[in-house]
A and B are shown apart, each in its own frame.
Chain A
Amino acid sequence: MSQLSTSISKIFGIIFVRSQDGTRLYSKYYPQLFPKNLLRVPEGVITNIDVQKQFEHNVWEKGKRVGARLTKGSETEIFQYCQFNIVMKAFNEVHLFVLGDFEENEIILSQVINGIYESLNHITKDHINKKTLLENFDQVIIIIDEICDQGIIITIDPSVIIARVTMRDTEAITLDKQETSGSSGGAFSSVFASAKRTFASQFMGSG
């Protein structure tokens, strides 16, 4: 296998852990695109699953200290651990981290974590917590798979992500109208509408 250039923008990993003890709920790493030296963390080599779990635990501990002030899911914190830039969000009983290497554009990382957040909000009807994430585990893992392919960002627009997760359309759908999951709009729609505007200007950018 040959290596892709190091200067392409990419995600190193996405981690969900339990807030109560830092154990893994679901984690994805994309080591294939990174040079070998980046895969070495203090806990060992990241391709090993036990190393990953220990690493996640340490990221969680560090994240707790750094981001003690996180209260709302809409807020994001950022910190460095080893050779990584890490953005985090705290939900009820769950911490979410998105990792990029030290050179990675931090704004992209924050847009990715926001894309995940908005999509999760949609599938859990604005109640992101450990229980709802596990109950909708099938959709959670597909959301992650629609955001990022082996570390390459596919899209971060939640309306596109949700359209594809639910296999409804290849492009963005108007989420406010689709009621199949029984969502009555409400809080979600308003948060979402504003988020969508932000995304439109940030990611697609009209210029």
Chain B
Amino acid sequence: MSTLQYVREIISKQISTLQNPIGEDKKALESEPYHNLQKSSVLLESRCFNDHQLQDKKCRQILSKLIYLINQGEKFNDQESLSLFFGITKLFQSNNVDLRRMIYLMIKEFKDENSMYVVISCLAKDITSKNDLFRINALRTLPYVLDQSNLVQLDRYLKNAILEKSQPISSAALIAGLQIFRISPDFIRKWTNEVADRLNSKYPQNSFHALLLLHEIKSNDKVTFTKILTGLTKETLVPIANMQVIRFIREILNTDELDQQYEKLFIEYLLRQIHKSQEIVIFEACKALCDLKSLSNKDLQPMVQVVTVFLQSSNVINKFVALKILNRLISNPIRRSLITPSHIEPLIQDSNKSLSSLAVSILLKVCQETNIERLLNQIYEYLNDMSDEFKIDVLRSVKALAKNSPNKWKSIISFLQQTFKCEASQEFKKYSIEIFEFIIHEIPEARENAIMALADYIEDCQLSSLQLSVLSILNREAAKGQCPTRAIRIVNNRLHLEDAEIRAAAVGVLGKFLLHYPHEKTNLIELLQAAAQDPDEEVRNRSRFYISESAAPKEENTPLSIEELDAIEAYLQQNIQEIQQSNEEVLQLEKIMAYAEQNKGKIKKTEVLQELVEEELIQTHESESGFETYKKLFKESTIFCDYGVLRKSSRAQNLTDSKCEYLVTVVKHFFDNHIILEYKVKNTLDNVTLSDVSLELTIKNVNLQFERIVPAKQIQPQCASNILVGLQFNPNLRLVSSNIQSILTFTVNENGTTYQDEYQTEDFIITYSDFFLPIQWFKKFQTEWESLKSQEMSATYQLDYKNTDIAIKELVKHFGFQVCDNSDQIQPQNKFHTLLLSGKYLDTKNALVICQIGFQQNIGCVLKIKCKSEEDNLSTNIVETLG
């Protein structure tokens, strides 16, 4: 370090102490050995790598300082990297083992593709070294510096290393093989014999590593691998390999159509593993068994017994895993009777919060009515420590509780009220509000308390979207005359405290009160008159409307129906300009009444249509005419007409297998800013009627939001009905993709007894390709590309495709576009492959894509994508889908 630098450092230290006189933390940091390590000074030190007489220890220290800096996020520019890297290769001259060890680590940490070739010869030398430790490390470092050209050269050494008697060397080669497999799978596939030979190695980790690599080698040949696994079930394996065998068996059992004979053999094997002595094996086997739907509760009894013993263990990890297994088991409702709550209850008290919250979640799912209150209190204590995802899971259980034990509504409401107070995501609170809504609808005696609890909540709520959801519930209930008048004050407070959107919604609620609660009239008119002075136009108009509405003499003394009021609101919205321009004359009562009268018929008509929609949707088939029918139906549907024109419908997709009691399919309908999911549920049972069939959706993408749902009221035996779910996607995006998880909820009516049940269907995905039709509307791609006068969007990606062929297939699948000019045929002489694609976005906008696919040895598949379409925003989105 130069003197100047040293002085500078001291001064800067002094300044920082002056600025932070208390600085306990600072002091703690300053006493750290690597505190204030500067890149420049370490680089300066590293010049000694070029010395003739290497100081091994000093060099090792400098390397570890450099690794520290890299790990802290320090970046090196090209110049610095290059000179550093050449310095490092000089260090190979020293035969000091400790220094050599650090060099290997440095090469792995450094990861500078451009200079890696420099060290390959040094490594190749060490692979054949007499020192086993050098060999191990060289083998493990090799995948970082390798490219396909020198792979062939080294093949012999690697294979020999696998067969080496020394198991650490063999393991190092196998691990290297796993890493090289990612770069060049075909190359490693030639090693089958060598790897299989190590499978029976008597050394502990060796067989584990061989098993991993063999599984990858045989990833395209499930039949052979199944046979290998069958062989292994007869062997005595080391625990870690035993665990891995169970995992592979689980993979096969869950994903493949398996020969029954193998299935039986594997299941019997798993059932034997739960009696082994090592937890690592027992737990893996239990997890595998949890997922098997073909097993009866009786088959699983021994497994539950084993897991229950671990609940009493003193080891926190064993308890945690045992709970996790049980929680997973009862995600299938049939398994709930296997659980004895008293075994789990003590764990609510566990000082590990992760553990206690898991216990709570299980108990909520299996609990008895008498314990609900106590349980909910305990849960609340832990709520803040749970992850957001888990909190929602708890709410889901609470909702099921409200369904199954409606007379416990008091405890449930007070619990939900508390959830508003805890720190949690907006999604969580929205779900709380949804449960309130459920209670308001389903538990009449709880309605008033639930409504007031919601009203109280908007007093403290900061989020306007949540305020609006609550106000819309109040609006509806007030219109039915079922909202307690105590809520008026709270709603009125909104007019003084909130922004225009909320004020307008609040006026709506007050208006409904005014029309349906005659004894509060004077008071409400006063409030609305104040609101009529509001700075916002919408708020003023709404207030005036309701005031004049209440003043109208009711001719036949029949109050307006909700539909009529809605029609009037619609009328007002449509004619708002006219109303503003022509003073208040348009608002004359006669005119509004006349409009309402006119539209009465229409409303009735749309109601009829709505029934028709449901009827016909069931019968529609996947055909061209089917799409036209859908288009018409949605356009005329009262519920979904605001979504605009239907642009595209997907094919029906099965979400259940054909043996299930309830068959569920889904069709995705695409609109400009919305997606409607149409679930068709068929009840295949003869003596069971389903009612209130609804869905709980988990959408993994925040850019896609649940908006509304039309449940099916009843599904008779051997009948089908459909459930429509409206989703809205982020209006700034033209494309969105998400995994959708759906849980069907319904009441089962079987020979006079009824109970609640739920059923989780398979997940499905809304893909980017769903948005496109593969259409080519032109003759020559290039001409069309040039003539499309819009901005060209482009990006470059590194993708995980193994070869050009796969890349082409995957890209075509990804976009769902049409291949143009036979560009999916590979021209071997070209360095890059150019794939030309065309498609139509939601039947409205044409889009063109050019993909240039190339392979670079160290990096793999490199893709340059260019896109032009009739909307720049769309082009950007298309390019970004690969990111």
Contact = CB atoms under 8 A, between A and B. Distances in A.
Contact of A66 (B133, B247, B324, B353): B353
Contacts of B100: 167
A98 B207 CA distance: 24
A160 B136 CA distance: 13
B183 A1 contact: yes
Given A77-B316, A138-B64, A204 B238 contact: yes
Contacts of A207: 236
Interface in A23-82: 24, 26-27, 32, 49-50, 53, 62, 65-69, 76-82
What are the 3 A-B residue pairs with the smallest beta carbon separation, nearest first? A79-B354, A167-B97, A138-B64
A131 B101 CA distance: 23
A109 B627 CA distance: 53
Residue from B60, B132, B242, B390 with most neighbouring chain A CB atoms (10 Å): B132
Interface in A1-41: 1-5, 7-9, 20-21, 24, 26-27, 32
B204 interface: yes
A78 B243 contact: no
Contacts of B208: 153
A22 to B, nearest CB: 12
Contact of A4 (B32, B181, B251): B181
A81 B238 contact: no
A169 B133 CA distance: 7
Nearest to A67: B352
B840 interface: no
Given A26-B71, A67-B352, A1 B209 contact: no
Interface in B793-842: 798, 800-802
A145 B280 CA distance: 23
Contacts, number: 182
Contacts of B641: none
A66 B238 contact: no
B808 to A, nearest CB: 16
A4 B214 CA distance: 12
Interface string A195-207: 0000001111101
Contacts of A107: 278-280, 283, 317, 321
DSSP class of A's interface residues: helix, strand, loop or mixed?
mixed
B108 interface: yes
B447 interface: no
Nearest to A9: B244
Contacts of A142: 101-102, 105
B77 interface: no
Contacts of A103: 287
B283 A93 contact: no
Given A106-B283, A167-B100, 10 more contacts: A2-B181, A2-B185, A7-B215, A8-B212, A9-B244, A68-B351, A106-B317, A107-B278, A107-B283, A170-B169
Contacts of A2: 181-182, 185, 800-802, 860
Contact of B166 (A20, A149, A170): A170
A110 B240 contact: no
B321 A134 contact: no
Interface string A122-136: 000000001100110
A111 B860 CA distance: 35
Contacts of A66: 352-354, 385
B209 A203 contact: no
A189 interface: no
Interface of B: 25, 28, 31-34, 60-61, 63-64, 67-68, 71-73, 97-98, 100-102, 105, 108, 132-133, 136, 140, 166-169, 171, 175, 178-179, 181-183, 185, 204-205, 208-209, 212, 215-216, 219, 236, 238-240, 242-244, 247-248, 250-251, 278-280, 283-284, 287, 316-317, 320-321, 324, 351-355, 385, 387, 390, 798, 800-802, 859-861
Interface of A: 1-5, 7-9, 20-21, 24, 26-27, 32, 49-50, 53, 62, 65-69, 76-82, 87, 93, 103, 105-108, 110-111, 130-131, 134-135, 137-138, 141-142, 145, 149-150, 152-155, 160, 164-167, 169-171, 201-205, 207
DSSP class of B's interface residues: helix, strand, loop or mixed?
helix
A170 B32 contact: no
Contact of A204 (B204, B387, B859, B860): B204
A5 B211 CA distance: 12
A152 B209 contact: yes
Nearest to B74: A49
A50 B133 CA distance: 35
A44 to B, nearest CB: 13
B136 A105 contact: no
B216 A5 contact: yes
A88 to B, nearest CB: 11
Contacts of B67: 141
A79 B216 contact: no
Contact of A131 (B33, B105, B136, B385): B33
A153 B168 CA distance: 13
Nearest to A171: B168
A131 B27 CA distance: 13
A2 B243 CA distance: 25
A67 B28 CA distance: 23
Contacts of B278: 107, 201-202, 205
A135 B239 contact: no
B255 to A, nearest CB: 10
Contacts of B60: 138
A131 B287 CA distance: 41
A137 B33 contact: yes
Residue from A69, A130, A135, A170 with most neighbouring chain B CB atoms (10 Å): A170
Nearest to B390: A80
Contacts of B860: 1-2
A170 B321 contact: no
Nearest to A155: B205
A78 B348 CA distance: 16
B686 to A, nearest CB: 39
Contacts of A108: 240, 243, 280
Given A69-B351, A108-B280, A32 B102 contact: no
Contacts of A81: 387
Given A5-B215, A107-B321, A80 B244 contact: no
14 contacts: A5-B219, A7-B247, A9-B247, A76-B316, A78-B355, A106-B320, A111-B280, A137-B64, A145-B105, A145-B108, A152-B209, A155-B205, A170-B136, A202-B278
A141 B61 CA distance: 12
Contact of A130 (B32, B287, B798): B32
B182 A4 contact: yes
B26 to A, nearest CB: 11
Nearest to B248: A7
Nearest to B97: A167
Contacts of A24: 71-72
Nearest to B168: A170
Contacts of B175: 149-150, 152, 154
A32 B178 CA distance: 11
Contact of A26 (B68, B244, B861): B68
Contacts of A21: 25
A80 B389 CA distance: 11
Contacts of B179: 149-150
A205 B352 CA distance: 30
Contacts of A131: 31-33
B144 to A, nearest CB: 9
A131 B133 CA distance: 29
A164 B212 contact: no
Contacts of A154: 171, 175, 205
A111 B208 CA distance: 16
Contacts of A32: 182
